Amino acid sequence: MKNMIAKVAGVSAAAITMALVPLAGTSYAAGCSAAGCDNTGPASQGCDGDAVTKASVTARNNPDLRAELRWSSTCQAAWARVTSSGEQWWDRYGSIEKWSGRGTGFQRSLQVKFPNPGTDWTNMLGGSAYYRVCIKDTATDLVDCSPFW
């Protein structure tokens, strides 16, 4: 009888736990959409979960610096993720740019300083547009940009 009660209690506890834990793959509503995501954080808005890299660039004078164009189809927004694998002795920035055409109709950009070392990201820019990411080295004034996406 004690074994039966223990089994029933164990099954009941498991059933209650499963009811309280969301199933894998459950989607949650994003906190913003398209231009409503402008200048908001991808993680805080729930846009980073489905993000993919659409373009990237490495600094030609420093292979330790990389910028990626990240895109969330749920939020219809993009941002730059920057990664530095070495120490930075002066200011270098990664940016996301939003254009109405490929190289025409500049709309807006956001930037973030490269970490020393590590990974960081800009806030987002959203909506239908052409996007690219760039790396600016303020010591040499070199600018390297990805192709437009």
| Residue among 55, 48, 34 nearest 134 (CA) | 55
Model pLDDT, residue 90:
79
* 23 pLDDT higher than 60: no
pLDDT tens per residue across span 24-76: 333 456 899 999 999 999 999 999 999 999 999 999 989 999 999 999 999 99
The pTM of this model reads 0.79
Query: Residues 78-127: pLDDT tens digits?
Result: 999 999 998 877 789 999 999 999 999 999 999 999 999 999 999 999 99
127: left (phi over 0), alpha (psi -120 to 50) or beta: left
State the pLDDT at residue 7.
Answer: 47
The strand pair at 118-121 and 77-84 is best described as antiparallel
Q: What pLDDT shows up at residue 79? A: 98
Q: What percent of the chain has pLDDT over 70?
A: 81
pLDDT reading at 137 higher than 50: yes
Domain ranges of the chain: 33-145
The CATH number of the structural domain formed by 33-145 is 2.60.40
What is residue 28's predicted lDDT score, i.e. its pLDDT?
Answer: 52
Separation CA 136–CA 140 (nearest Å): 9
Greater confidence (112 vs 18) lies with 112
Interior CA angle at 149 toward 54 and 136, to 5°? 85
d(CA 27, CA 4): 38
